[in-house]
Structure 1
Amino acid sequence: MSLRARFALAFALVSAVVAGLVGVLSYHAVADRTTQANDTTLTAATTALAAGQTGVLGSADPPAGDGDDGGGGPPRGGGGRPDDPARFQMLVGRRIAPDGTVTVLGGRPVVLPVTDAARALAGAPVAGRTDTTEVTGGRDDYRVLTTSLGGGTGALQVAMDVDLSNRLVQGMANEITVVSLIVLVVAAAAGWLLAGRITRRLVRLTGLAEQVSARGGVGGPDVEALEAPVEGHDEVGRLSASFTTMVERLASSREAQDRLVQDAAHELRTPLTSLRTNASVLRRFAELPPEARERLVTDVQGETRELSHLVDELVDLALSGHSAEPEEPVALAPLARRMADRAARRSGREIVVDADDSVVRGYRAALERGVGNLLENATKFDHGSGAPIELRVRRGTMTVRDHGPGIPPADADRVFDRFYRADDARGLPGSGLGLAIVRDVAERHGGAAFVTTPSGGGACVGFGVAPDRLVVASAPDEVEAQAAPEPS
């Protein structure tokens, strides 16, 4: 069953239940009021008869629209001819003796049965006891009130034709039933129309989602065609906006994936070509002089090392932003010192750390990778100055300064691109992915990577996190204790 049909059915059921409850309550209220009015009339007539006023049993005025049983006419009993006066007599007055003998006091000439309860009241020693019941006399229904006279002297019995009242109440019940059915149909139709308006946007979103699933992804011109128009600020409107954002991110992810694959394939060709060439030379390894053999082995080892490093960085870059690593408060000072010690051991360079007590909410492994790549980049390019490399941490921003040749202004905007290497860096080891990973780490933390040229030469390369990721370290020692152990 479709969502629209469910909505329409729900509207119809709710409306039917409400209409039914209102109808039932209205019916019982009218029936109770009618019964109370009839009982009041019977009580008043009994009081009058006890006082000897038999005139209350006289003919009633003909109701408006006098005629036959249709159109709200008078009761069916009391004669059969339209000119019969008893036709409009509504009451019957009788006196019941203890032995069940009936004495008619007036009113409509109709024979009503004497019940056991009426005989018991006729012989009751106490006056004022009553019994109310409904009986059928002829073609009409009568409501009968029997009142004991006390001392075993009999009872007064007054009966009232309630056939018209019953028919009116039954007619009301029929009308309530018809109205309830009409309400049910109208509610179902209104629910169908309203559900169509409510679910229209959901149906459109469902169709777009099915298109994305059928195509296996999005990309290129598909993005604009799959954008869901945002209408309103309700839950469906927010869902439309989220769906559009999701499609755009899927498209961006697909484009980034394609670009990464293309760039990786391009970068992998160079070491693979070199290794293929060296493999051909290895067929004549025994014929080569010792110096050529040494160069060949050194070249193969270097190309293999560069290829392994390239694969590692490709994996890091591909998994950037998709790790299941949880967010946690990270103290940057101990992290910076730990990464500086590691880089100093690997490169043999002196690294000076100047860090404040910044604590950020982020991903520890990603931040370590970003700082490590900054230091590795600095040690690679600053290879002859003799000055120490400086790592500075201030309010969530990590900056590494070297004293090497610096970065030309023309390359400053491109050093964070994947596989980009300046002309003077093409002879150095590396894949051109280190600073690209730094940029991804910064963006994952809501910040950005940057390059500046300080006075005195060299370069300052770093990245920062978003200001809202800075936290107050209420217990710095505890935060430092959470830091990952120093890898060997």
Structure 2
Amino acid sequence: MKLQRPDLVHPVRDGREHSLRILRFFTSRMTLALRVAVLTTAAVAATLTLVSATIYVTVRSEFQSSLDDSMVRRAQAGVTADLGSLFAGGADPGALALTDIKVIVLRSGRGVLLGTPAVSNFPIQFIGLPEREVSLGQTTQSIRTAMLKDTPYRVVAVRSGRGEALVMAQSMESIDMALKRLQIILLLTSAIGVALAGLAGWAVAANGLRPVRRLTAATERVARTADLTPITVTGTDELARLTTSFNAMLTALDASQTRERQLIADAGHELRTPLTSLRTNIELMGQATGQGGRSLTEEERAEIMGDVRAQLEELTTLVGDLVELARDEPVRRNPEPLDLADVVTLAVSRVRLRALEVDFVAHTEPWMVVGEAQLLERAVTNLLDNAAKWSPPGGTVRVTLTDGTLTVADEGPGIEPADLPHIFDRFYRSQEARTLPGSGLGLSIVKRSAERHGGTAEVSSTLGKGTTFTLTMPAAPTI
């Protein structure tokens, strides 16, 4: 088994992770506008680099292709004009140097046609294997680039006869100079384009992110001053939608704080009455048992203790109702399939024990729901207690559960039409209900319980004939 050094197991991956850490270090210290400008500049730089490289390669290829075609045509024209015979007859090939073209006739791959001294000055670098293969008849023509004193030459060889090849060489210095000028132009153009792209990217980012900066300032203002005033929305783009959503969040937060303040104020008001009464009774008992005070009779003591117990029960109920209403989460503690008819039957049995002067007539049909039995039982119990409280002695409360709809109808005096829209509000109590015990939270808990289970709670009433509460619950999904 071959062992590996721990520091050489994944050098590529380690290097990539190191580069990513460096990139995250620098980008984390950039503003969003600067990041947008940098990314824009990098994208434009990459595009211009690709375009410039494409242009340069295309132009160089076109130059070389044009030169090759031109030299091949001239070489073929020289073969047609039988330059080899002219050289053998004493013509001076050095005269072609005036046109920056060097010409030689290569025979059988071994030498040149010597006729004049100029021919012997033909550089040996221009005679290589490709040209010898053409003279030997192995190929019809060859094209290549050869260097002479740091100057590139394009060398073309074509067959000029049996065992002969006409070789031409032309300097590419003018083409190289043109390509160098093109390089400079492309570099300058790319640099100017990248600079303009960076400036444009910064300007666009700074202008486009103005709503984001406004949102940032608004959030900082909210965190600093707790001022939930919505900010102005401009435009219809994604940032405008973000601003609208932020304003909706501020509105919801303001409403939540308003409800919280109202709940605290109402709770304080409702708690003040039983606490004041408890303090009064306790002070009265303390004065009666103190030195020099008159003693209480057993009847008076029992009356005060009964009053204290009633106030403690009212206070306990009020605190429990407040805790229940303070929960805003949906039912997810212990939801389970259960029969709503069992919940209603149990609630009726419990309320009958403490409402002996009222007759309860219940008719229930099975109805499976998914929810929390304790919360549903409390909602039903609140409805029954409310009906018992308003029913006259000897009255009847009719409880019916059919197809998931629970109705609780009493024979009380009914509810004023002006009070009906507010009957499920927290701490709301009608003028007639203020003289009766209660916290004004029972029906709020009924509505909250129905909403948490996906149901509804409604009320209808006729003055002098009674009130009917309707609680509708969705059925449990069938498997």
TM-score, scaled to structure 1: 0.75
Separation in 2, partners of 1:113, 1:404:
126
The alpha-carbon deviation at position 290 of structure 1 amounts to 1.4
Matches within 5 A, 1:24-173: 24-54=53-83, 89-96=99-106, 98-101=109-112, 103=114, 112-115=123-126, 117=128, 121=132, 125-128=136-139, 130-137=141-148, 141-147=152-158, 153=163, 155-173=165-183
Partner residue in 1 for 2:49: 20
The alpha-carbon deviation at position 288 of structure 1 amounts to 2.1
Among residues 302, 305, 327, which one is paired with 2:313 in the alignment? 305
Separation in 2, partners of 1:105, 1:122:
25
Partner residue in 2 for 1:415: 423
Q: Is residue 365–residue 401 contact of structure 2 (8 Å, CA) maintained in 1?
A: yes
Separation in 1, partners of 2:194, 2:177:
25
Deviating more after overlay: 397-406 vs 264-273: 397-406
Across the aligned residues of Structure 1 and Structure 2, the Cα RMSD in angstroms comes to 4.0
Separation in 2, partners of 1:128, 1:102:
20
Q: Is residue 94–residue 158 contact of structure 1 (8 Å, CA) maintained in 2?
A: yes
Q: Is residue 95–residue 156 contact of structure 1 (8 Å, CA) maintained in 2?
A: yes
Matches within 5 A, 1:249-268: 249-268=252-271
Among residues 24, 38, 53, which one is paired with 1:9 in the alignment? 38
Q: Is residue 133–residue 143 contact of structure 1 (8 Å, CA) maintained in 2?
A: yes
Partner residue in 1 for 2:352: 347
Q: Is residue 416–residue 463 contact of structure 2 (8 Å, CA) maintained in 1?
A: no
Q: Is residue 452–residue 461 contact of structure 1 (8 Å, CA) maintained in 2?
A: yes
Q: Is residue 389–residue 403 contact of structure 1 (8 Å, CA) maintained in 2?
A: no
Deviating more after overlay: 409-418 vs 166-175: 409-418
Q: Deviations over 1:255-285 (max 9, x none)?
A: 1111111111111111111221222233335
Partner residue in 2 for 1:73: none
Partner residue in 1 for 2:8: none
The alpha-carbon deviation at position 165 of structure 1 amounts to 1.9
Give the SS at the match of 1:142: strand
- Say if 2:336 is the partner of 1:322: no
For 2:104, give the aligned amino acid: R
In 2 relative to 1, CA 25–410 (structure 1 residues): closer, same or farther, beyond 3 Å? Answer: closer
Among residues 384, 394, 401, which one is paired with 1:375 in the alignment? 384
Partner residue in 1 for 2:395: 386
For 1:459, give the aligned amino acid: T
TM-score, scaled to structure 2: 0.76
For 2:200, give the aligned amino acid: A
For 1:49, give the aligned amino acid: G
Give the SS at the match of 1:128: coil
In 2 relative to 1, CA 251–442 (structure 1 residues): closer, same or farther, beyond 3 Å? Answer: farther
Separation in 2, partners of 1:418, 1:241:
30
Q: Is residue 100–residue 119 contact of structure 1 (8 Å, CA) maintained in 2?
A: no
Question: How many residues are treated as equivalent by the alignment?
Answer: 431
In 2 relative to 1, CA 281–113 (structure 1 residues): closer, same or farther, beyond 3 Å? Answer: same
Partner residue in 2 for 1:175: 185
Q: Deviations over 1:110-132 (max 9, x none)?
A: 85343562597179643535443
- Say if 2:230 is the partner of 1:231: no
Among residues 180, 191, 202, which one is paired with 2:201 in the alignment? 191
Q: Is residue 125–residue 150 contact of structure 1 (8 Å, CA) maintained in 2?
A: no
Partner residue in 2 for 1:246: 249
Q: Is residue 126–residue 146 contact of structure 2 (8 Å, CA) maintained in 1?
A: no
Give the SS at the match of 1:245: helix
The alpha-carbon deviation at position 366 of structure 1 amounts to 5.8
Q: Is residue 155–residue 168 contact of structure 2 (8 Å, CA) maintained in 1?
A: yes
Structure with the larger helix share:
2
Separation in 1, partners of 2:383, 2:265:
25
